[in-house]
A and B are shown apart, each in its own frame.
Chain A
Amino acid sequence: MSDKIIGSTRVKRGMAKMQKGGVIMDVVNAEQARIAEAAGAVAVMALERVPSDIRKAGGVARMANPTIIEEVMNAVSIPVMAKARIGHISEARILEAMGVDYIDESEVLTPADEEFHLLKSEYIVPFVCGCRDLGEALRRIGEGASMLRTKGEPGTGNIVEAVRHIRKVNSQIAVLSAKSDDELMTFARDIGAPYELVKEVKELGSLPVVNFAAGGVATPADAALMMSLGADGVFVGSGIFKSESPEKFARAIVQATTNYEDYVLLAEISKDLGEPMKGIEISHLGEAERMQERGW
């Protein structure tokens, strides 16, 4: 056996880089997973319920039953992700032991710990986490996240929060890039981020990991919008399998993500798609119903 290193930062962040320009789709069974793969998804997220159904069901949302995750893993050859509750060490370790390809430490599920997120650097499996601003992004990277995504407002089919979050992160990176080195410690304190990572972002002019759009993508145009705002790829939760024709929607969103600046093509692929998922106006959500405030 030759010498090899598993679970290195490069291997974990590299996996997310291979997903760039792609669409990751929420699925609740093997059949949906096969539809997603055939449509050109780069990965699937195996869940018991999509976010909009989690909203409807209420109660405590937990890691999916391993039976469902295993069923999805056996059905497709593309990577399979699964969600663990924020701070739920055991759910994360169970998913890692099952050989899941990526774990989403997700605010869509009910947090298990309101103070501490997982120490993700301790795991071989890579993690993706949500963020609303640069401070939150760098705190998650500091804990070992290998990939980020906007939090948006999951299960609403309303893109407004995801737009707010990606614009915020990118404008903060622009502000940071213009700062002189002697201002960085104060900047780090103000946004609550690790100093070393603030320095790294200034040097790179970007985050050191990929940042996908998530939380409210419902149409091909939504996916294209997030790509043109600088997202590296797109998560679609309820948007596909809560639409009228999931197969068409899935294919159209994949094409829109690759060709996000080809507006003639976007018009073409947006025709005859049937109804998208029904959306929710964010101001109609009570404070307790907002998922993006979970985690810090």
Chain B
Amino acid sequence: MVSMSKTIGVLDLQGAVSEHIRALKKIGANAVSVKKAEDFDNLDGLIIPGGESTAIGRLIREQKLEERLRSFYSSGKAIFGTCAGLILCSTDESHTTDDLRLGFIDMEVERNGFGRQVASFETALEFAGIDHPVEAVFIRAPYIQSVGLDVKVLATFDDKIVAAEQGNVLVTAHHPELTEDYAVLNYFLKKISQTIKVRES
């Protein structure tokens, strides 16, 4: 039997993994936890969840997953990074940190750009391609400081870029998995369908 539901992996090293899996199941996707290189094999898309980017980056290196992440990216499959996942997908041309930056999207990031936990907030966020303001929870959130020419900005808050996409990669500084508003996750599902078409043609 041919199943139409997409299989989406959630990188399961540290952070809000079960929240993403719960939300993906709600929108009819087949969600699985990804811990080892072989777990990437049958995925249509991958989510790098929120958590601590330093801890997740270190675990990616220790579990020897960096190469598998890069080949997954190069294969053109869709990747969605939320919060810490956004940081990990960024480049680091001006900052020079020892922490892992995968460079999947041409942007520089300000970690904890919105401040410490006491400044964490929720808001209704205008999001390009979504017809209503989305419920958005920002937790010690980063913002995107600058983007390259090929990056499409999807949302801003207080004049700071908080969501963007380039090619097969989508990133948000907020946490769609913490709300019952699945619009951004559905946006990612559509992106997966597009990447499948691109790879088939």
Interface residues in chain A, defined as those with a beta carbon under 8 Å from any beta carbon in chain B:
1-8, 10-11, 14-15, 17-22, 37, 39-43, 77-79, 96, 99, 101-102, 124-126, 254-255, 258-259
Contact = CB atoms under 8 A, between A and B. Distances in A.
4 residue pairs, one from A and one from B, having the closest CB atoms: A101-B117, A4-B121, A40-B58, A21-B14
Contact of A22 (B51, B118, B120, B175): B51
A119 to B, nearest CB: 17
Given A40-B54, A79-B117, A10 B178 contact: yes
B123 interface: yes
Given A1-B158, A125-B117, A21 B122 contact: no
Most buried by A among B12, B50, B55: B55
B37 interface: no
Given A40-B59, A77-B54, A11 B14 contact: no
Interface in B91-142: 111-112, 116-124, 137-140
A102 B120 CA distance: 12
Interface of B: 12-19, 35, 50-52, 54-55, 58-59, 62-63, 83-84, 111-112, 116-124, 137-140, 157-158, 175, 178-179
Given A5-B123, A11-B139, A77-B111, A18 B50 contact: yes
Contact of B116 (A5, A14, A37, A99): A99
Given A5-B123, A18-B83, A254 B140 contact: no
A2 B124 CA distance: 9
B122 A15 contact: no
Nearest to B52: A42
A102 B51 CA distance: 15
Nearest to A232: B18
Contacts of A40: 54-55, 58-59, 62
A268 to B, nearest CB: 12
13 contacts: A2-B123, A3-B124, A11-B137, A15-B140, A18-B139, A18-B140, A21-B51, A22-B14, A41-B55, A42-B52, A78-B55, A79-B140, A254-B55
A131 to B, nearest CB: 21
Contacts of B16: 14, 17-18, 20
A125 to B, nearest CB: 5
Contacts of A255: 59, 62
A66 to B, nearest CB: 15
Given A40-B58, A79-B140, A125-B117, A4 B51 contact: no
B14 A42 contact: yes
Contacts of A125: 117-118
A17 B178 contact: yes
A69 to B, nearest CB: 12
A10 B122 contact: yes
Given A14-B175, A20-B15, A21-B51, A6 B121 contact: yes
B118 A99 contact: yes
Contacts of A124: 118
A256 to B, nearest CB: 12
Given A15-B117, A40-B59, A21 B15 contact: yes
B139 A2 contact: no
Contact of A20 (B35, B51, B58): B51
A20 B139 contact: no
A4 B52 contact: no
Contacts of A258: 13-14, 35, 59, 63
Nearest to B112: A77
A238 B154 CA distance: 46
Contact of B137 (A14, A22, A37, A41): A14
A160 to B, nearest CB: 27
A251 to B, nearest CB: 8
B111 A18 contact: no
